[in-house]
Structure formats: C-alpha cells, structure tokens
Amino acid sequence: MITTTDLRKVYRSRQREVVALDGVDLHVPEGEVFGVVGRSGAGKSSLIRCVNLLERPTSGTVTVDGTELTALSGPALRRARQQIGMIFQHFNLLSSRTARENVELPLEILGLGRRERATRATELLELVGLADRATAYPAQLSGGQKQRVGIARALAAKPKVLLSDEATSALDPETTRSILKLLRDLNRDLGLTVLLITHEMDVVKAVCDSAALMRSGRIVESGRVADLLATPGSELARELFPLGAAPTREGGTVIEITFHGESSGQPVIAQLARTYTVDPSILGASIETIGGRQVGRMRLELPGDFEQNVVPIGFLREKGLQVTVVSGEPRPPAAGTAVQERLLDGAEELGTQLLPDDDQPAGAKPAAATEPATTDQPAASDQPTTSNERGEKEDRA
Ligand SMILES: Nc1ncnc2c1ncn2[C@@H]1O[C@H](COP(=O)(O)OP(=O)(O)OP(=O)(O)O)[C@@H](O)[C@H]1O
C-alpha cells in the first residue's frame, strides 16, 4: 500500500546540510498497522512527512495505493493526498472551531455542501465515540478527546491510509490504550492501513503487525513483530521484549528462550523440570499475547555448568524453542577442533540416550548435538507456560 524507494531527504541551510533520510526502502502492506521506531533524530518525522509529501523528498519515490506521489504536483497531488489522512502529537485542531466544525474542515475544502458536511461530521464523531461533544471547543476537551476529533478529521475524506506522527506521545497511559484500540478498530473495520511513528515500544507491542527500526536516516531492521522474535540477534526483539542485564554470577548456565508459538501452550518448563529433575530459576520474562499468539522471551538459570545442561537444552530445542546460551558454556575452541567435535559427539550420544522416547522423533538428533551451543535454532511453534492478555507484560526478575 505504501512503498518508498531509495528515499533521501537532505535539509540544507547556509551553514550546514543534514541528511535526515539516507536511502529508505519501506514497504507497508495493505491493511497493516506498521510502526516505525527509533531514537530522537533518527529521521522518523521526516519519513512520515515525506510519505504524504508534506516534505518533498530530495530524491527517491513514494508510492501510495499504486500512485507515485513523487511524480505529481499541483491539483493532481492534492487529489492523491486525499487518500492519506494524518494525525499529530499535538492534535493541530483549530481552537476557534467546535469539534464538529474541525471535522468539517477537510469537507469544506472538498467543496461539500453544509448539510452533507454536517451529516458526515456527525457520523465520524460517532465512529470515534465523541458524538456527545460535537459542539465543544478544543479547550473544553481532554487530550484523548482532542485526538479523537483529530482522527475523525483525518478520516473525513475517506482515506485508505492513516499516518500517525507520535499521536499518543502527549497522552497518559490509559488514554493511550484507548486511542490505540480505536486505531486498531478502525484498521479492522475500515480496512485502513496505518503507518505510525513512535518512540514507545509499548505502542508497537499493543497495536502493530509489523515494525521497522530507524537509525541515522536508514531502516536497519524490519519485519512482522512475531517473526522478529525468531530472528537471531534482532535488536527490535530485544527492545520489544527486554529482559534487563544478564547476571554475572558463576555456577549456573543462563539461557534465553524465545517463544513465538501458534497454538495453545505446552508446559515445557514444567516438563523440563520433571523429565530431567532440574530446577530452573526464572531470571526474567517478557511475554505477551499478540494476535492470539503468545510471544516473548524468558531468561532461565539451570543449575550446573553447560556440559551438565546439554541434554535439557537439547530438549527445549526439540520442543521447537529458540534457545541462546548466555553464560555457563565452556569457552568454544576453534571451529572444527578435535575437542569441540568430541564435545558435540558426546552431547549427541547423551541426547540420544536420555531424551524420552515420546520426545524423540524417529531418526532425529537432539538439537544441541547438531548445532553449536550458542547458535539460535530456527523455531517451530511452541508456547510458554504462562498466559497473559494483550498489553499485559510479565516482567519477573
Ligand atoms: N526542517 C528541518 N531543517 C533542518 N533539519 C531538520 C529539519 N527537520 C528535521 N531536521 C533534522 O533531520 C534529522 C532527523 O529529524 P527527524 O525530526 O526526522 O527525526 P525524528 O526521528 O522524528 O526525531 P524526533 O523523535 O526527535 O522527532 C535531525 O537531525 C533533525 O535535526
């Protein structure tokens, strides 16, 4: 629905040049809520303002719903932009107009008659849950109510795309949740594609199907939120599901498990404890239900050093979990050395002997034996042992 190709934006003044966008290739599929995150100055606002050509990009193309906006100007560009609504951090309402009159503004520009404008504005205010405040002025509305007026106004011309520039940054957490729910409902009910920029990871977790991370004017990582968790080394996954600093104490094997399963949960940690008589300690967890799937990360400490835990780790991997050994593993010898081969051979043998029959697919090797211990395993579906609703975060340390 939205595609940018090699998008560059350079701000030039007499003293200096600032490269705000440095070759951004972005693709937002139709019907998705897509979040762009990044630190202050990463280029997020420049990107969203270039998408609807509030800023003219220095080079590159922007295509929305099949129309290349960067090839247009004048009335043709104004018409194409009607497909794109936008909401802002500080709402940008006209203080001299009532809520309904603010919503009517784009309809006036479109040339609709008074009665038609009033009918459409009333419908839109109903859609955003604000029908009873139609005659209130912005100063008489709360922040959340102002943003609802802003959303109604953005939808006035029936756009296919909604751009959101830090729309919840000025709101308290509860109001943020209600506005995000409204955006999600509009996305589902109207098939609206939403591109939002934010610096809040909680916004991405609460509402986004996909996310991209920007740094220094570039997109350095992007993908569907649940899939990012399956990407070894994903910076977005680490920031979305933080576990805090890993402990430095000696004597145990610390592992991190990534859950991104699809079906109802299997109590794998309990199974691990029962099957191998180990007592894992939970050092941290960040798990949520997103789109009906439980996703997240958990950090566990298993008693004993890595060699004592090769088989339990293999068991977790056999269950389809992605496991990374954080500490407690022996320092790896150079690849392919006799010592490492002996260690892996030993682990394979141990795993074959010790994995219970019902957990050992015919002909399968324990994952720990087939991969170096620190390599992330591409995971199939699995579930953690706890269950949370969307938006609830479990952080145990
Ligand atoms: N109109 C402008 N003129 C000159 N430089 C600008 C202009 N707008 C943005 N910049 C610069 O471009 C870079 C990217 O800014 P941008 O506002 O796009 O980042 P951002 O990720 O949205 O940051 P924030 O979250 O703080 O808004 C920054 O170095 C900023 O100073």
Comparing CA positions, the residue from 190, 182, 12, 17 lying closest to residue 87 is 182
Residue-level pLDDT at 51: 96
Q: For tokens 């604000």, what's the residue?
A: 130
Residue-level pLDDT at 388: 36
Residue 18 Cβ < 6 Å to ligand 1: yes
Name the band, by pLDDT with cuts 50, 70 and 90, for residue 261: low
Q: Which ipTM did the prediction report?
A: 0.97
Q: Which atom of ligand 1 is nearest to the CA of 217?
A: 14
Cβ atoms of 213 and 235 closer than 8 Å: yes
Sign of CA dihedral 35, 40, 43, 48: positive
Paired strand residues for 219: 214
Cα(4) to centroid(ligand 1), Å? 18
Residue 43 Cβ < 6 Å to ligand 1: yes
List, for residues 105-152, the tens digit of each pLDDT value: 999 988 999 999 999 999 999 999 999 999 999 999 999 999 999 999
Which phi and psi angles does 20 have, rounded to 5°? -85, -35
Name the band, by pLDDT with cuts 50, 70 and 90, for residue 7: very high
What's the mean pLDDT when you consider all of the chain?
81
Paired strand residues for 215: 218
Q: Whose CA is nearest to atom 31 of ligand 1?
A: 41
Cα(47) to centroid(ligand 1), Å? 10
Q: Which atom of ligand 1 is nearest to the CA of 11?
A: 4
Cα(263) to centroid(ligand 1), Å? 43
Cα(227) to centroid(ligand 1), Å? 30
Cβ atoms of 34 and 213 closer than 8 Å: no
pTM of the predicted model as reported, rounded to 2 decimal places: 0.76
Residue 24 Cβ < 6 Å to ligand 1: no
Residue 264 Cβ < 6 Å to ligand 1: no
Residue-level pLDDT at 265: 54
Name the band, by pLDDT with cuts 50, 70 and 90, for residue 247: low
* CA angle 338–331–337, rounded 5-degree value: 15
Indicate whether 368 pLDDT > 80. no
Q: Which atom of ligand 1 is nearest to the CA of 45?
A: 22
Per 3-state DSSP, the chain is made up of helix, strand and coil in percentages (nearest 5) of 35, 25, 40
Name the band, by pLDDT with cuts 50, 70 and 90, for residue 276: confident
Comparing CA positions, the residue from 237, 292, 210 lying closest to residue 32 is 210
Residue-level pLDDT at 124: 96
Q: Which has more confidence, 93 or 259?
A: 93
Report how far residue 174's alpha carbon sits from residue 163's, in angstroms, rounded to the nearest whole number: 22
Report how far residue 94's alpha carbon sits from residue 139's, in angstroms, rounded to the nearest whole number: 10
Cβ-based neighbours of 361, under 8 Å, separated by 6 or more: 318
Residue 15 Cβ < 6 Å to ligand 1: no
List domains and CATH numbers for the chain.
2-228 (3.40.50.300), 245-370 (3.30.70.260)
Residue-level pLDDT at 329: 60
Cα(48) to centroid(ligand 1), Å? 11
Cα(235) to centroid(ligand 1), Å? 23
Sign of CA dihedral 218, 242, 259, 327: positive
Q: Which of 45, 196, 203 to mutate to test the pocket of ligand 1 (most atoms within 8 A of CB)?
A: 45
